[in-house]
A and B are shown apart, each in its own frame.
Chain A
Amino acid sequence: MRAIRKALAVLAVVFFAAMAAHAEEKGSIKLTSLAETDTIVVNAKGEKEVKRVEAARAKVVPGDVVIYTTLYENVGKAPVTDAVINNPVPEHMLYVDNSAEGKGTRIEFSVDGGKTFGATNTLTMVDVKGKARPARPTDYTNIRWTMEKAIAPGASGGVSFKAKIE
């Protein structure tokens, strides 16, 4: 009896694994990450204007600000719910205060590499003397956007933040 139960459990695992394998082919969300920077260019009229270009195709040096945008699109046939986008602040970069945006999302931050998240005023760091202090924006290691509403099939949107190159 016990053996049968075990066998059933194994079968179930195999079944779910097969489901997962099927899902691997295509998910319901297409996720795109853009790294861009604002550069000042002179237009045909000789006026200076700000142009947003891919960071990879711009001259970027320490001190420059990069705008990270994550685009999502429901490419499936069913509505997507409880979507959570997580973006670590890249290495060599510091989060720019108040720069995270995302319409219809709850934005939270982490200072421990994404283990725990919280609102900006709830995060603390431990200073060199072992005393707790409020976390600064430059301490943030991860940003998390939690969608408040379902994403309908075909619907898309984006969230973004800015970070400065150290």
Chain B
Amino acid sequence: MSGNITGRILVFVLLCIAVIWAFFPILFMISSSFKPGNLIWSYPPKLIAEPTFANYQNIATLFPRFWKSFFNSVIVTALTTALTLTMAIASAFVFSRLRQPWLKVPAFLMIFVRMFPGIVVVIPLYPVFNELGWLDTVTPLVLCGAAFAVSMATLLIKTFVDDIPVDLEEAAMIDGCSRVGAFIRITLPLLTPAIAAVSLVVAIGSWNEYLFPLVFTSNDARTAPVIIAIAMSNEDGVAWGGIMAMATAYLAPPLLLVLMLHKQITNVMTMGAVKG
């Protein structure tokens, strides 16, 4: 890699500024989770103060619902992401490769319907879910989550499919592949960076969803953000140590996901050659 030294230093300095701004508040949260509760907001602000694991040990007794809700979050996120991505890949393929005139209608719906804010759907849906017996289960969380995520996922994946020349698929079809078969075998592998990036976005969006679990669940299917929010609204005083510990634990899976998917997202370099 060539490039002048000043340019590279400039890039590095900008990177450091960005990282401080993006990560410092989180670092503060993580370090707070190891402080005794009364030292978290101490003055002058300190990054490290009497480190202890007590906050983590206390989660189970102070917030007995947390680990269950953490597990619920994992299930909801996994199902929502799987459902959304399956639908999005299939639709992106159709929107990109087929030219049926009537496809304009679903395309319009995809963009338009997504404009409604989540807050306007929860009130009418609540009694319906009550009748269906879906309240306090993960079902409405997954279905609503996927409904709100699928438009963006489809549009994004479509822009990536568009960039992959169709000739390869056609060649495979001449070799006797079905159209779907050709797409799955030839194009899908080339889409890994897009799919990885979009999965990451959908998964994290679902991981942080607050409104739907707040309204549609009450106990068994509650997810972690709601439990953390409840712990923060305690009239009798907020247990900051425990909250910082919960929030830190809650941050771990998405960070791991980023580390894991990084390779998929950056893998295109070698694939670029195929395009020639």
- Tell whether A and B belong to one assembly: no
